[in-house]
Structure 1
């Protein structure tokens, strides 16, 4: 995690290019330049928020990235090609140039995936091994999808800033956050992924596939696995696995994984020699919201987790 303030336009440009190599700050008013920067990065993904006070012209053409961003500026404009994008709304690009101009002050928020990383995960989720991530249109699909992107950004940023969560993909919480964030990004915009997901899912799963998935969850729930990892272990796409569970069981793969993790947290709480912090054990098993964990625990076991 990185946080700092700066007034040097060269430092501002250098910092932005470290996260968006194609970015160019074409013109910055040196007299009024003031940057307040926050970012969190893991391999394949960055979350960025900066507030820049200055008159600015900038551009980005992120060919190796899946780049989604919002620019909130009372006196500003974002354009893709010859068209102006809705003010304050998130936009997306996988290489097409996008330019921004603002006077006085802007708040910029971005969720940026390495394109190869996003494509590997999207192929596993969709079951389409030939899927190539393409952004069909830079605008969010609608007001609901734009709000969905904003909510996800705010949730991930606040969770990381507060220390309630980590983006580390080797942790249960981090792996889940990254998957959720990518899903939001890919479904909030018109992309090749959203079109693929509208097709009929893989339907060839046998009961043996479900048994493999259940066994894998039982053995690995304490690790940083997601439903995509379960599907991979069961030799089927994520969509196919979800269909198989619906056909064979009365719960989804995600629900079973959550149930097993809740049982794991229950065991840790019961085995603790000294009173353990509920939040610590909850996070260990992938529950970032203590109040929701407590409610789920009480519903399952009939008592407060602290008892």
Structure 2
């Protein structure tokens, strides 16, 4: 640990400290809020929160954290904040923490060792990094500066699927990750699905069952059971 540089500590782990002339300040954040913000950023939370302590945070992210904590402190001290403002302050703190110590990136949908063409590899990376965006096969082709037909043929040749099907698979993965990290009392399946671009709940549920092998509600309820077991 270095003075002035925050370190994330998870409650289920045990830590011991040897300190000399050291003032320790603790900021307690809700795991639920941190997990939700991380999931919105596309983090893979199937194994829970996993901060990378091996890479030191950037100077800018540390300054942002201290400025954020100062802003929150002044805001909360100035009066009794409403529920909405308090929730926004919690999300702001979680986002600032994740800026310093991001979670692992979601697993790519392309199989390990698969030889991909340049355009398909670029498309895979773009879809995984921008899954929340309104991506279509046409917009993906424009982004890569290739023809629609060439992109479709490349996906069929390299991944035996279509660009639209691949985009849907990635988004279904992200929905599953978010459901597994959410509390059933805090979110609904409809809200999570809509956040990943699924507007029609019935069609989404059918696609989810076909891809994951269980209903989205079953995934959300399993998350609650796992949390209770912990």
Question: Which TM-score tier does this pair reach, normalised by the shorter chain?
Answer: 0.3 to 0.5
Between structures 1 and 2, the one with greater helix share: 2
Taking structure 2 as the reference length, what is the TM-score of the superposition?
0.42
Structure with larger Rg: 1
Question: Relative contact order (alpha carbons < 8 A, sep ≥ 6): 1 or 2 greater?
Answer: 2
Taking structure 1 as the reference length, what is the TM-score of the superposition?
0.33
Between structures 1 and 2, the one with greater strand share: 1
